Amino acid sequence: MSALRQLLKSVFTAAFPQSWLMTHGPHASVSEQKEIALTFDDGPHPEHTPRLLDVLAAAGAKGTFFVIGEKTLRHPKLVRRIADEGHELGNHTWTHSEPSQTSAGRFLEEVAQTRQMIQNLTGRDCRLMRPPKGALTVGKTLGLWRRQQTIALWNSDPKDFAMKDEAELLRWLDGYRPRTGDIVLLHDNHPRAAIAVERLKCNDLRFVTMSEWLDRAGPQKQTRAVHPGEQEVANVR
């Protein structure tokens, strides 16, 4: 992440409540264990998601799955399994189209379509929305907030989707020092997310969903909206 993008991210995180924009969780834990949120993008996948769910169940861990709408249409049983096993479902648009080539109108249509699909499959509304690549314009941001969606980003990204082999992931895990409040970005359309969970569970961590942190924080004071424009307000990759 560039220094400018890091600065912009910090400014926006400080300016808005977590119910609007979430880049990390609380820095203090309710227990003596460190708390981190494991998040999984770009699924569900017919092979890798079931394996990941098995690993999460064995670890007694909960995660947040940001699903792509058209994939939920193809794999509805997996979406129901995610929900039934106590994990959280988040919205990752319908097609995961390239942000720079997707208008605000089209983006918001995809968000609404995916939100409705998740509700139809699970009976639960979906309040967390993670934009592809973390990229947003002001128009897209304001559209999400008008629809009472929480923009859910992250602060720890091993870029597992780009890793060539398991050894790269293990090197990242060896160097990772978890902090309470970390939101870790992984991808369940790749096999390495399950490996990461198996290694991380050995660190005496407590895994929470992002909404657990939001619910614990309770109602937050609303702040002013930003002035509309076309500049990018959040792009952390």
In the chain, the number of structural domains is 1
Q: Note whether residue 198 is domain-resident.
A: yes
For residue 115, which of 128, 99, 101 has the smallest C-alpha distance? 128
- Segment 182-193 mean pLDDT: 97
Q: Residue 218 pLDDT more than 90?
A: no
- Segment 106-113 mean pLDDT: 98
- Write down the number of H helices and E strands in the chain: 9, 10
pLDDT at res. 237: 35
Q: Residue 108 pLDDT more than 80?
A: yes
Q: Residue 22 pLDDT more than 50?
A: yes
Catalytic residue among 24, 41, 48, 87: 41
Q: Note whether residue 148 is domain-resident.
A: yes
> Which residue did the predictor score with more confidence, 216 or 156?
156
How would you label 115-150 residue by residue, b for 16+ Cβ within 10 Å and e otherwise? bebbeebbeeebbbbbbbebbbbbbbbbbbbeeebb
Catalytic residue among 45, 75, 187, 190: 187
Q: Note whether residue 26 is domain-resident.
A: no
Q: Residue 219 pLDDT more than 90?
A: no
Which of the four pLDDT bands, split at 50, 70 and 90, describes residue 71?
A: very high
pLDDT at res. 6: 56
Q: Contact at 8 Å (CB) between 150 and 64?
A: no
Return mean pLDDT, the chain. Answer: 89
pLDDT at res. 9: 59
The residue segments making up the domain with residue 214 are: 34-220
Residue type at 57 in one-letter notation: A
Which of the four pLDDT bands, split at 50, 70 and 90, describes residue 174?
A: very high
Which of the four pLDDT bands, split at 50, 70 and 90, describes residue 214?
A: very high
Q: Note whether residue 29 is domain-resident.
A: no
When computed from its CA atoms, the radius of gyration of the chain, rounded to whole angstroms, is 17
Q: Note whether residue 93 is domain-resident.
A: yes
Catalytic site includes residue 41: yes
- Single pTM value for the model: 0.88
- Segment 27-50 mean pLDDT: 94
Q: Note whether residue 146 is domain-resident.
A: yes
Domain harbouring 199, CATH code: 3.20.20.370
- For 126-146, the pLDDT digits (tens) are 999 999 999 999 999 999 999
- Segment 171-189 mean pLDDT: 97
